[in-house]
Structure 1
Amino acid sequence: MPNSSKISAAIFDIGNVLFTWHPRFLYERLIDDDRALAAFLDNVITHEWHFQHDAGRDFADTSAERIAEFPEHAELIAAWGPRFNESLGPPVPGMHEIVAELDSAGVPLFAITNFSHEFFPPFRREWPGLFDRFRDIVVSGEEKLLKPDAAIYHLALARFGLEPNEAIFIDDNAANVAGAEAVGIRSVLFTDAEALRRELAAAGLLAA
């Protein structure tokens, strides 16, 4: 494991680290019946289908394909793009405060997120006070590279001007954490803000 004394920067994931996220947050507003909602999320707006957007595909293409497969749900499928922000819930408790503390302490902040190139800009505009604290954000859909592929971590480090042992990476997905560790970045599997605060203190980025 890299020497924690060398760590000077923090790299964050966004979904379910800084903000809660689930397709249910949008569709429970549009589908009243719980069984119909569960079936829709299991079969139509699935994580696997949405992951195509994170990989760089356009919503116009993916939605047309899905509507052809499920024409009875055309209106609901079409809502995913323009109403995507509604699939993001409130901030994860305590996390925006940690970001603010790190920024105030002069710690360089970055992010690597699996996020659509179309959906991320309007979401970022809703939270300028948070995202303006980040020096750079690598968005998978823009790069057509996905975590946990080693290529996205190498690209991010080059863009951020960091060596692997100079950063700590925080993500809620174990595969993404393993991917970052494989390229030499000290990484934390995110569970909650208090546990992360302890990890950041151990890395020397926050006061114990």
Structure 2
Amino acid sequence: MKQIDTIIFDLGGVLIDWNPEYVFLDAFNGDRKKMEWFFENICTHDWNENQDAGYPLAQATQDLVDKFPDYEHYIKMFYGEWENMLGGAIDGTVKILEAFIKSDKYKVVALTNWSNETFPIAQKHYEFLHWFDGIVVSGDEKTRKPFKEIYDITLERFNITPENAIFIDDNLRNIQASSALGINSIHFESPEKLIEHLKQYNIHL
């Protein structure tokens, strides 16, 4: 059995519920098809991820306004109303995090794809973001998951041995990248399933 000494948590979708639908479904008067078209064609996932890698929010917004002037109001809402896209904590996972912290047996860090401009807002909302031994924020590093560089930064910064660590992320793409580097990886689906996966590493919470 591998001796696990480090737990690496993703944040959004694992510990924090973040969803732009909380803003845009109302903005589009409940018309889900219009909202989905907007996300698929204008404020896309790829566009948002570019800001996770450190691209300035104001410039990203202006880029889209220049390209889609008819949608200026909605484009400016994406980061203008960003704080309202934050839902609650995912309580079951927060309890798991707390158990790791209290056990004092593990180094507990976070690795998140997050704009360095919006992350301080999240830190004000969620007390548990101050529990970690350290957090690697993609926007600070000017790179993001699933690129190898950000995993290497995390391993080196916190002196982590890949085979002694577990990485937990809800994005399968990111899990595949960490697994390729020899990090034990768990695809997060729910707190209950996470507890079961951890048992495979002889971790009983």
Aligning the two structures, in what range does the TM-score lie when normalised by the shorter sequence?
A: over 0.9
Q: Give the secondary-structure state (helix, strand or coil) at the position aligned to 1:81.
A: helix
- In structure 2, what residue type is equivalent to 1:103? I
Q: Is the 8 A contact 2:123 2:130 kept in 1?
A: no
Residue in 2 that maps onto 1:37: 35
Per-residue Cα deviation, 1:78-131 (whole angstroms, up to 9, x for no partner): 122232122232223511111111111113211111111111111112112x11
- Equivalence for 1:58: 56
Q: How far, CA to CA, are the matches of 2:162 and 2:37 in structure 1?
A: 43
Q: CA RMSD for the aligned pairs?
A: 1.6
The one-letter amino acid paired with 2:119 is: F
One of 137, 144, 148 as aligned partner of 2:146: 148
Residue type at the aligned position of 2:108? L
Amino acid at match of 2:25: E
Aligned counterpart, 1:19: 16
Aligned to 2:190: 192
Whether 2:124 is the aligned partner of 1:117: answer no
1:101 aligned onto 2:87: no
Which amino acid in the other structure matches residue 152 of structure 1?
I
> Secondary structure in 1 aligned to 2:80?
coil
Counterpart residue identity of residue 44, structure 2:
T
Q: By how many angstroms is 1:160 displaced?
A: 1.2
Q: SS of the counterpart of 1:146?
A: coil
State how 1:158-169 maps to structure 2 within 5 Å.
158-169=156-167
Provide the aligned length of Structure 1 versus Structure 2. 203
Counterpart residue number, 1:28: 25
Identical-pair percentage = 32
Letter in 2 for 1:17: V
Structure 2: which 5+ residue stretches go unaligned?
none
Give the CA deviation at 1:176. 0.7
Aligned AA for 1:81? Y
Is the Cα–Cα contact under 8 Å of residues 114 and 141 in structure 1 kept in the other structure?
A: yes
* Partners of 2:10 and 2:168 within 8 A in 1: yes
The worse-fitting range, judged by mean Cα deviation, of 19-28 and 97-106 is 19-28
- Alpha-carbon contact 1:8-1:205 (below 8 Å) kept: no
**In 2, Cα distance between equivalents of 1:45 and 1:11:** 29
Q: Give TM-score, length-normalised by structure 2.
A: 0.92
Instruction: Compute the displacement of 1:36 (Å).
Output: 2.7
Q: Which runs of 5+ in 1 are unaligned?
A: none
Letter in 2 for 1:145: T
| Structure 1 position 69, deviation (Å) | 1.4
Whether the 8 Å contact between 1:102 and 1:205 is mirrored in structure 2 is no
Tell me the equivalent position of 2:178.
Answer: 180
2-structure distance, mates of 1:195, 1:137: 24
Matches of 1:11 and 1:156, distance apart in 2: 9
